Structure 1
Amino acid sequence: MRPGDAAGLHAEHPHPHYNPDPHAHPGLHVIALVEAAKGALAVLAASGLELLGPAPLQHFVQLLIARFQLDPDHGAMAWLANAIGPGSVHLAAAAVFFYGALHLLEAWGLWRAKSWASWLGCVTAAVYLPFDVYALVVHPGWIALAVVAINLVVVWVLGRDLLRRRL
């Protein structure tokens, strides 16, 4: 029993049968690697947005409008071309950077078997599930089915981790 621990249990791992060693949780490590990859890609994308700026993005949208013979003055693509500016690119880059940083933080926590990271991952994966199921119903196929299956596995692994902790 360590000093300050309630009933002899460490606050991070209150259940006596939970192994606090991060190496005892390979499922968390797999999810952590995926989250780290998503986070790194998002941070790279945010950096790319900042480095490119609005001009190449506007040019790309104009190419799409010309290629698909869309109305350059009306419609979603015309709105997008007009909406791209320095402020909107900075805002998009900041949002993508925050998304990436959150995934990197979650990956760090999962790698170290932190309960807050299991909560974060479980809740965020569960939030995506209704949208994934909707996509599967509207656009059935093996990709949509794989996305639903992967998210269900992630929720199950993280939920099982939380139940073992009794949190």
Structure 2
Amino acid sequence: MTDAQHYNPDPHAHPGLHVIAIFEAAKGLLALLAASGLELLGPAPLLRWLHELIARFQLDPNEGALAWLNKVINPDGVHLAAAVVLAYGLLRMLEASGLWRAKAWASWLGCISAAIYLPLDLYAVYHHPGWTSWAVLAVNLIVVAVLARDLLKRRQ
């Protein structure tokens, strides 16, 4: 038997699962590339870019996020950031694989992980209104709706 003959998706699964799977796989791939980039570059170029940013825009390096970044961009901090981004990328790839095969657990994972971002999306729309904030909110709402509908259809 070929792989195509083994593929037996849930007939109740929502047809948008493949679209969401591709989107999640793209996010996962970008995260894996970012984690690799962090490990390959290390802290030196990141610190140089941070100092160039501070100089170019005449920012105070001793205040807020810039002071924090200046302190945490070190070998241990870069390794930790790369590990977190790697874990995120692997989780997105796992979710994409499950959604492509119309697995219920993947719909649960995707629905919950997209819903977690909704309060942040609403905050962004309120404090930084613009087409980007609205687009991100709309995409996350669509993902939550499609995955929730898929889960509800499976229960019937």
- TM exceeding 0.5: yes
Moved more, 49-58 or 140-149: 140-149
In the alignment, what sits opposite 2:10?
Answer: 20
Identity among equivalent positions (%) equals 67
2:68 is the alignment partner of 1:79: yes
Q: CA RMSD in A?
A: 1.7
In the alignment, what sits opposite 2:93?
Answer: 104
Cα distance in 2 between the residues matched to 1:70 and 1:108: 44
In the alignment, what sits opposite 1:90?
Answer: 79
Q: Which runs of 5+ in 1 are unaligned?
A: 1-18
TM-score by length of 2: 0.88
In the alignment, what sits opposite 1:161?
Answer: 150
Greater gyration radius: 1
Moved more, 125-134 or 89-98: 125-134
Q: Which runs of 5+ in 2 are unaligned?
A: 1-8
The amino acid across from 2:10 in the alignment is P
Structure ranking higher on relative contact order (CA contacts 8 Å, 6+ apart): 2
Deviation at 1:80, TM superposition (A): 1.4
Moved more, 143-152 or 114-123: 143-152
TM-score by length of 1: 0.83
Moved more, 100-109 or 77-86: 77-86
2:96 is the alignment partner of 1:116: no
The amino acid across from 2:106 in the alignment is A
2:19 is the alignment partner of 1:30: yes
Cα distance in 1 between the residues matched to 2:67 and 2:122: 31
* 2:17–2:102 Cα contact (<8 Å) kept: yes
